[in-house]
Amino acid sequence: MDEKIIETVEKYKGRIITVKEYRVVLINGKEAKREVVHHPGAVAILPVLEDGSVFFVKQYRLPAQKVLLEIPAGKLDYGEKPEECAYRELEEEIGYVPGKLKLVHTFYPSPGISDEVLYLFEASDLKRTKENPDEDEFLELVILSKDEVKRYLFENKFEDSKTLIGVYYYLYSRRS
Amino acid sequence: MDEKIIETVEKYKGRIITVKEYRVVLINGKEAKREVVHHPGAVAILPVLEDGSVFFVKQYRLPAQKVLLEIPAGKLDYGEKPEECAYRELEEEIGYVPGKLKLVHTFYPSPGISDEVLYLFEASDLKRTKENPDEDEFLELVILSKDEVKRYLFENKFEDSKTLIGVYYYLYSRRS
């Protein structure tokens, strides 16, 4: 079922992404062109407090041209392990470090066009280490109870893939 | 909380995506650069049969360099309404048309880097119209029962965002 790559041309190299065009041979022998956005990958963290409530961050996203309510997340640095990145990003964004990190899902946000992989962790046993998280990121922290998470999901207030997956995982694994 | 765009430069124009670099002014008055992948948007369809089982498609994804098990999906044509696209893509990919389409979630797969919006529909009252779906797409159809969907989720066999969200929605809304 594979496609065989016969030519690769780099078309754009930015700070985060690289775009390449591939000429491929399909299963039926025909040729086709594919454009692929190469991305270093990222982590997202569902931070659950002892009482079961969840930390979110509000952040302006230029591609969406609006403020989104998301679970904390960040890009992987070169050579960085996803667990290390999750630990670092959580402290940077909400000022807590996780006592426990559990890998919940590994997925491609947009597999038709990009090789970006997202590692989604559940973080618990949270310990506060900073009074104020990094102010350069312009994040607003929001803590929601389980009932609020449910209501927000129903009202379509979660608008990105990692947050929807994290929230569904959270609600489904606590559905009792 | 917004970022003000002061310069836009188009860096790459492909068949599907366009990449632009933006110079922006942040809330604190500092300047920053953003690279954004512009994408026409897409639909994904969770096709549920009368007995509650779900249609999936297996498809080779060059960016992931492997075959993924996904719910049916496709890019929006220019000016096309998401409902029309969902109707068309479902027939092309599995050979059924939906009697009923319900918009479940609208989300950004990767909001840090791309403006791609994905419209996720639940399709029901399915009617078969084609013996064999388009053979140019090299898809393999897979039908899973609710128990199989649950097991596959647990075994991490769903590896892309739209499928995970569709599957969680399906399981959570039928959790009884």
Tens of pLDDT, residue by residue over B15-33, are: 999 999 999 999 889 999 9
Residue A1 confidence (pLDDT) above 90: no
By DSSP bridging, strand B54-61 and strand B66-70 are: antiparallel
Q: Which residue in A135, A137, A155, A159 is the catalytic one?
A: A135
CA dihedral sign of residues A120, A124, A129, A131? positive
The span from the CA of A131 to the CA of B44, in Å, is 42
Reported as a single tens digit per residue, the pLDDT across A18-59 is 999 999 999 889 999 999 999 999 999 999 999 999 999 999
| Chain B nearest-CA residue for A114 | B63
Rounded to a whole number of angstroms, the distance from the CA of A35 to the nearest CA of chain B is: 7
Burial class for B79, CB neighbours closer than 10 Å (0-12, 13-18, 19+)? exposed
The span from the CA of B123 to the CA of A17, in Å, is 35
The first and second tokens of residue A126, run together, are 């949270």
Q: Known catalytic residue: A135?
A: yes
The span from the CA of A100 to the CA of A12, in Å, is 39
Q: Which of B44, B76, B59 is nearest to B169 (CA)?
A: B44
Asked if this assembly's ipTM is beyond 0.90, the reply is yes
H or E element that contains B45: strand B42-47
Q: Which residues of B are marked as active site?
A: 135
Contacts of B65 in chain A (CB under 8 A): 115
Rounded to a whole number of angstroms, the distance from the CA of B160 to the nearest CA of chain A is: 5
The first and second tokens of residue B105, run together, are 């979630």
Residue B136 confidence (pLDDT) above 70: no
Rounded to a whole number of angstroms, the distance from the CA of B143 to the nearest CA of chain A is: 19
Mutate to test the interface with A, among B16, B27, B35 (most CBs of A within 10 A): B35
Q: Residue B141 to residues A104, A120, A134, B126: CA-CA distances in angstroms?
A: 27, 28, 48, 15
Q: Which of B91, B118, B122 is nearest to B104 (CA)?
A: B122
Burial class for B146, CB neighbours closer than 10 Å (0-12, 13-18, 19+)? middle
Percent of chain A with pLDDT over 70: 97
| A-B Cβ pairs (cutoff 8 Å, strict) | 197
Q: With CB atoms and an 8 Å threshold, state whether B172 touches A175.
A: yes
The stretch A65-88 carries a mean pLDDT of 96
Mutate to test the interface with B, among A38, A61, A75, A134 (most CBs of B within 10 A): A61
Which pLDDT value is given to residue A99? 97
Nearest by CB to residue B161, choosing from A5, A165, A175, is: A165
